[in-house]
Amino acid sequence: MAAPESLVYERPESFTETPTHYCPGCTHGVAHRLVAEVLEEMGVTNRTIGVAPVGCAVFAYNYFDTDFVEAPHGRAPAMATGVKRVLPDRVVFTYQGDGDLASIGMGEIVHAAARGENITVIFINNANFGMTGGQMAPTTLPGMKTTSSPNGRDVESQGYPIRMSEMISTLDGVGYCVRRSLHDPKNIRLAKKAIRTAFETQVRGLGFSMVELLSTCPTNWGMTPVNSLKFVEEHMIPAYPLGDYKVSEAIKQVKI
Amino acid sequence: MAKELWKGNEAIAEAAVRAGLQAYFGYPITPQTEILEYLSRRMPELGRAFVQAESELGAINMVYGAACAGVRVMSTSSSPGVSLMMEGLSYIAGTEVPAVLVNVMRGGPGLGNIAPSQADYNQAVHGGGHGDYPRIVLAPASVQEAIDMMGLSFDLAEKYRMISMMILDGSVGQMMEPAEMPEMKPIVERNWDWATNGALNRERRILSSIYIEPAAEEVANLRLANRWKEVQANEVRYKEYFLDDAEIVVVGFGTAGRVSLSAVRAARAQGIKVGLLRPITVSPFPYEVIDQLTGQAKAFLVVEMNMGQMLSDVRLAVRGRVPVEFHGRPGGMVPFPDEILHEVQRVNGANLSVQTDPIDGWLARMAEVK
Amino acid sequence: MPAKGWIEVSDLYCKGCELCISACPQEVMELDMSRLTPKGYHPAHTFKDGCTGCAICALVCPDAAITVYREVTKAVPAAG
């Protein structure tokens, strides 16, 4: 075996040994790993409570070595509110997809943000309902084919995509709200830094924090994992521009 | 402590606080809004959690989160709001965490009205959320009883890791009565061995209502079924009035039971051998005592402020041995003692059959109510 | 001289998605078509020398399947 000092990277300890149920190449796994690394680096794994959603990440609780609860579809921010209000010194985060957060859970996310709940939300935007087999989500791009928009999303009858980060960032309770992407190494590094900043926002009591992550769904998009990354770069990012939508003055002072 | 004049809703709120309520999440809806208003002052002054949620969906899921964290938590609502909470209640039941919910019932279905009703009996006792799950349901008939049941609700919820509901109609919530508050109980750190409050110096915990393997879900369902047998064996509560020699047994819960008592007293004064059974726990339902009363009674009269919901449970206990008659005022109407007295007199004088559907006779009699 | 590195790919976690292969700056990775993991995937591996231990494969891996090592050259202690 290699000498310990030669180790460059290994699976984070705050990840359990359970292999994920995600399809090969799905960037949910990358997002999970980044959250696990951040919790470990901040030394808060043993005082973190995660809130799993309904959707592909429904089994997220199997993968993080933290306490976890599992919310009804869309209700994770409300459940997280309940946990955080009675355990204010713990770290509480939700991990939600776009069906969960931007469709059925729109009320809960907006009001948790508006109340400035000191929770962190990891929002996975992969432009469809993954778990149920690739139906149209509020985030589905115009013209994008899904199993419930078989001719492509027709904005005349099926409406327009919702840009959550832009919307959430208008609320005064929000301390930190950014959009990042998981499609290449540089952006994955930026995503991790954003996740770290979001959790730092929470532990400092600086308000609601959300990181939207543009993510892939190779199976339901009908693409290879590698081509899915290209789709994110070429089609998702133009529709969902990456950037810092809200970084409060207090958080700008935080050095990571 | 001395008796004071308490409004039902505020009494419930203060009684919950004194029972050690650590977190409250609610949403305004008539006729229970005073609970929310009262706790919006009281909880922060004690340093306890209070959130006016964005909806009943939000409120019940905040309850769910706080229940998973292992604290004494409650929400309150009224009929339409409780319907919205059913999703959360099913998840709470499936996760086997304790939570208390008060439903100050109003007339329905739909938006209905804001008058007193008992039309959510079936939703509370038999139905509600999806899936198989039992829950404890208490039905107070006075402000004092509501106060006394608040602490009991938390104790039962925690003892059986189960939802404990209190259903009362809007009149109990809105009326003012002299009542005695219990002493303030200190908050107790319960350190439950199941709570997800951070894996400090212990293995991590997961609280979820998912059993993706049907065989495991069956095991979980059977665990609930067995726990319910324990509740049935130990927690049935009811009040008996004039039942020793009663030949007619009136059965009514909450306000319907309370109004019936006036009628029973009046009937006794006329020499009619009538008594009253008032279930305190409508779930677990006092089947056994009704079964025993069937031996002495020549007829039952069920009085409810609905279209005959608890009636089914009484009939289940009576099993066709003697006639079960029904008098109900649905839609937000409250029966008067003299109309119940009239019903008692009718049942006393009639030659009743066990073959007829009590609803048919009731509807025929109600045709005159215009 | 470029750093010399090596990787270990876990058969338990690797799903053969090829994201590491396309991301590898040294282009030294491919799927090992001669092997199947217990789950039935051809796992990723390095098929030739040139790995620098840059850990980009691990960075893009959705399954945290890759452990990365780099040869350590003893640092010269700074003079007093």
Map residue A32 onto helix, strand or coil: helix
Number of domains in chain A: 1
Q: Residue for token digits 């095991």?
A: B219
Q: A101 phi and psi, to 5 degrees?
A: -85, -45
- Chain B segment 39-98 residues within 8 A of A by beta carbon are 49, 51, 53-55, 57-59, 61-69, 71, 73, 87-88, 91, 95
Q: Which residue in chain B is spatially nearest to A94 when comparing CA positions?
A: B65
Q: List the beta bridge partners of residue B304.
A: B328
Give the residue among A250, A160, A169 at the shortest CA–CA distance from A203.
A250
**CA-based nearest residue to A42, from A144, A138, A120:** A120
pTM, two decimal places: 0.96
pLDDT 10s digits, B128-142: 899 999 999 999 999
**Chain C nearest CA to A1, separation (Å):** 10
Kindly indicate the confidence band of residue A4, based on its pLDDT and cuts at 50, 70 and 90: low
Q: What is the model's pLDDT at position C45? A: 98
Chain C residue numbers with beta carbons less than 8 Å from the beta carbon of A23 are 15
Which of B12, B35, B14 is closest to B25 using CA atoms?
Answer: B35
Q: In the numeric block, which tokens belong to residue A171?
A: 């609320």
Q: What is the pLDDT of residues B179-212, one digit of tens each?
A: 999 999 999 988 999 999 999 999 999 999 999 9
Q: What is the bridge-based pairing of β-strands B4-7 and B176-179?
A: antiparallel
* Residue pair B7/B15 in contact by the 8 Å Cβ criterion: no
Alpha helices in chain B (DSSP H): 8-18, 33-45, 56-68, 79-95, 121-125, 143-160, 170-174, 214-234, 254-269, 287-293, 310-318, 337-349, 358-366
Q: What integer pLDDT is reported at residue A28 of this predicted model?
A: 98
Task: Please give the average per-residue pLDDT across A70-94, as a whole number.
Answer: 98
Give me the total of CB pairs closer than 8 Å, taking one residue from chain A and one from chain C. 86
Query: Do residue C60 and residue A5 have CB atoms under 8 angstroms apart?
Result: no
3 state DSSP class of B350: coil
Helix (H, G, I), strand (E, B) or coil at C59: helix
Question: How much is the pLDDT for C77?
Answer: 60
Partner residue opposite A20 with nearest CB, options C16, C63, C66: C63
The residues in B 257-276 lying below 8 A from A, measured between CB atoms, are none
> Which stretches within B161-213 are classed as H helix?
170-174
The fraction of chain B above a pLDDT of 90, given in percent, is 97
The two tokens of residue B294 are 């069937």
Query: What's the Cα-to-Cα distance from B273 to each of B245, B247, B280, rounded to whole Å?
Result: 7, 5, 23
State the Cα angle at B133 between B127 and B135, rounded to 5°: 75
DSSP annotation of A15: B
Q: How confident is residue C3, by pLDDT bands cut at 50, 70 and 90?
A: confident
Residues of A within 8 A of C65 (CB-CB) are 11
The H-or-E segment that residue A244 falls in is: strand A243-247
- The per-residue pLDDT for range B24-76, each reduced to its tens digit, is 999 999 999 999 999 999 999 999 999 999 999 999 999 999 999 999 999 99
A3 and B CB contact within 8 Å: no
CATH of the domain at A98: 3.40.50.970
C75 CB within 8 Å of a chain A CB: no
Which residues in chain B have their CB less than 8 angstroms from residue A65's CB?
199, 204
Query: How far is Cα A100 from Cα A92, in angstroms, rounded to an integer?
Result: 18
Give the span between the Cα atoms of B227 and B225, in whole angstroms. 5
Q: Please give, rounded to a whole number of angstroms, the shortest distance from the CA of C74 to a CA of chain A.
A: 10
Size (chain B), residues? 370
Q: Which two tokens stand for residue A37?
A: 């690394």
What is the ipTM metric for this complex? 0.95
* pLDDT score for B96: 98
pLDDT over 90 (residue B119): yes
Count of CB atoms situated within 10 Å of the CB of B189: 8
Domains of chain B and any CATH numbers = 4-234 (3.40.50.970), 238-366 (3.40.50.920)
Specify the pLDDT at position C73.
Answer: 73
> What is the predicted pLDDT for the residue at C1?
67
Give chain C positions within 8 Å (CB) of A27: 62
Closest by Cβ to A9, choosing from C63, C67, C71: C67
Residues 6+ apart with CB under 8 A from B246: B273, B274, B275, B293, B296, B297
Please check whether residue A95 touches B, CB under 8 A. Answer: no
CB atoms within 10 A of CB B65: 32
Residues A216, A212: Cα–Cα separation, whole Å: 13
| Residues B196, B169 contacting (CB under 8 angstroms) | no
Q: How far apart are CA B207 and CA B99, in angstroms?
A: 14
Q: Do chains B and C touch (3 or more CB pairs under 8 A)?
A: no
Closest CA to B251 of B337, B307, B313: B313
DSSP string, A125-159: E-SEETTTTSEE-TTPPTT--BTTBTT---HHHH-
Q: Is the pLDDT of residue C79 over 60?
A: no
Is residue C44 within a helix (H) or strand (E), and if so which, with residue range?
strand C44-46
Instruction: For an interface test with C, give the residue of A1, A6, A180, A189 to mutate (most C CBs within 10 A).
Output: A6
Residues of C in contact with A28 (CB under 8 A): 62
Q: What is the mean pLDDT of chain B?
A: 97
- CATH code 1.20.1260.10 for C5-70: no
Calculate the CA A78 to chain-centre distance. Answer: 16
Shortest alpha-carbon distance between residue A80 and chain B (Å):
6
- Give the residue extent of every domain in chain C: 5-70
Is residue C80 scored above 50 in pLDDT? no
- C43 in reach of chain A (CB within 8 A): no
Question: Where in the sequence is the domain holding A13, given as residue range(s)?
Answer: 4-252
C18-53: pLDDT as tens digits: 999 999 999 999 999 999 999 999 999 999 999 999
Mean pLDDT of A85-91: 98
CB atoms within 10 A of CB B24: 31
